[in-house]
Amino acid sequence: MFEKSQELFRKSLSFIGDARDDLDTAYPFFISKGKGAYVWDIDGNEYIDFTNANGGIVLGYCNEDVDNAVIDQIKNYGNVFATQYSKKKVELASTLLEVFPNLERVVLFKTGSDATDAAIRIARMATGKDIILTSGYHGWHDWQLNMFERFRFSDERHINFRYDLDLLRNQIEKYKGQIAGVIVTPEYNYYDDAFFIELQKIVKDNNLVFILDEVASGFRFCLGGLQKKIGLDPDITCLGKGLANGYSIAAVVGKNSVMKEACLKTHMWSTYNSELVGIVASQKTLEIMKKYNVPALIEEQSKYFAEKLKSLFNEFGITGELFTHPNIFHIVFEDDELLGKFVLECAKKGVLLSKDYENMLSLGHTREIVDNALSKIHSALEALKTNGDIKEDSGKRTLSRQALEARMTEEFDGNFEYSIFKDRK
Ligand SMILES: Cc1ncc(COP(=O)(O)O)c(C=O)c1O
């Protein structure tokens, strides 16, 4: 069923330099079209998609209102000009500040990696200090690879404290007077409110710049991100995915106390940072999200989907769990190889899931589509059972510490002892 994709994949291996090892090389397949909750590959296979372009899509693929705003912009006005300022950019910045009322100043970028890179630069400019303490995934730039053992550079300016609050306290003590700030991604399926509140307290008590990387979470948990949901008050927030329903735009939003002077001391503009396609797409996306309270609508379907999927795992005797709080979900199996087979079988049945990373629903996932996906997943599980891939039911449903720790290390290099699973054996 992947003939054309496989042929193109074989060809492209000799001259294309990047691929996602969990998706591109696992099937392999080439997606050529998306609409609502669906994507299609070049062989014509249809999938109900739960990756949502790694979180870039929140309203569903090809949202007509967003796309029409973009078409109007490029047809009648143009996309980039010499100046970084534009009327539409000012309007978007005002909208972002309404969504994040605790913050006061906005700089726009193209990708989440840009935004997190700029955020730590601003922290350095604001404090005159150099060291950054970091936890979690923030992108592909050199310092951001600190999290991955296999990609790590030797780097003394960025220290990974691995969501370990003891280590954070130790590093703050050790590098007293040299630290600019702390950047953290809220891995909310693994660490609870109390963890983030404690982390913020440590950072603020030590007068360090607190950067919350809400590139993934800013428009998923609620309009306003985790900070609104649990009452955090970062100095700087990074936004990206979901901000413009698939068009490239990212933002650094922060307090004047940190950003006002710091932004003037450095150079951050870039030819395409002011690209109007992303700006108008973002303004329209935010308008729709606000009007219909989109995160709440997605939450309703997400909860339903998660509950049903958990009972399917139960029915087939799989030791596996689904974590969802509730709009970003992770699937973890005790047997990681079985999870790989499950994801592949789901793709064959027409459901696209990411094995190792985040999955999520969009506004395009109606109840009918979710039910349809569940019935395809049911057939995938039946096929695995028939093939003998699903072994005898051990009666065990909860994951071991080992399986959870492996996933947390692989996905964001997270410390286990501070996670919500710390009592697992
Ligand atoms: C929390 C977080 N920060 C930063 C990034 C990097 O964003 P981008 O892929 O747009 O560069 C990502 C992307 O996965 C992310 O999830």
Confidence of residue 235 (pLDDT cuts 50, 70, 90): very high
Whether residue 26 has pLDDT greater than 70: no
CA distance 68 to 18: 31
pLDDT at 393: 82
What element of type H or E holds 72?
Answer: helix 64-76
The residue-averaged pLDDT of 240-253 equals 96
Give the Å distance between the CA of 113 and the centre of ligand 1. Answer: 6
pLDDT at 19 over 80: no
Question: Does residue 178 register a pLDDT over 80?
Answer: yes
For residue 241, which atom of ligand 1 is closest to its CA? Answer: 10
Q: Compute, in angstroms, the gap from residue 210 CA to the centroid of ligand 1.
A: 18
Query: Between these two residues, 149 and 99, which has the higher pLDDT value?
Result: 99
323-348 pLDDT, tens digit per residue, is 988 799 999 999 999 999 999 999 99
Mean pLDDT of the chain: 94
Q: Does residue 213 line the site of ligand 1, with CB under 6 A?
A: yes
Work out the average pLDDT over 162-185. 98
pLDDT, tens digit (0-9, with 9 covering 90-100), for 392-411 = 888 888 999 999 999 999 89
Residue pLDDT, tens place only, 47-104: 999 999 999 999 999 999 999 999 999 999 999 999 889 999 999 999 999 999 999 9
For tokens 């029915």, the residue is: 315
Domains of the chain: 3-62+294-394 (3.90.1150.10), 79-291 (3.40.640.10)
For the CA of 240, the nearest atom of ligand 1: 10
- Whether residue 12 contacts residue 344, with contact meaning beta carbons closer than 8 Å, is answered with no
Can you tell me the distance from the alpha carbon of 42 to that of 3, in angstroms, rounded to the nearest whole number?
9
Q: Which pLDDT score is estimated for 67?
A: 98
Residue 231 contacts residue 200 (beta carbons within 8 Å): no
Task: Compute, in angstroms, the gap from residue 238 CA to the centroid of ligand 1.
Answer: 9
The CA-to-CA distance between both ends of the chain, in Å, stands at 42
Q: Catalogue the E-assigned strands of 164-304.
A: 179-184, 209-213, 236-239, 250-254
Is 283 in contact with 88 (CB distance < 8 Å)? yes
Mean pLDDT within 184-201: 97
Tokens of 169: 């306290």
pTM: 0.96
Q: Around Cβ 6, how many Cβ atoms within 10 Å?
A: 15
pLDDT band at 16 (very low <50, low <70, confident <90, very high): confident
What is the pLDDT confidence band of residue 106, given thresholds at 50, 70 and 90? very high
**Prior bond of 186 cis (ω within 30°):** no
Contact (Cβ atoms closer than 8 angstroms) between residue 213 and residue 136: yes
Which pairing describes strands 359-360 and 351-352: parallel, antiparallel, or unpaired?
A: unpaired
Measured N-to-C along each axis, helices 276-292 and 294-315 cross at an angle, to the nearest 10 degrees, of: 80
Q: Where are the alpha helices (DSSP H) in 1-40?
A: 3-12
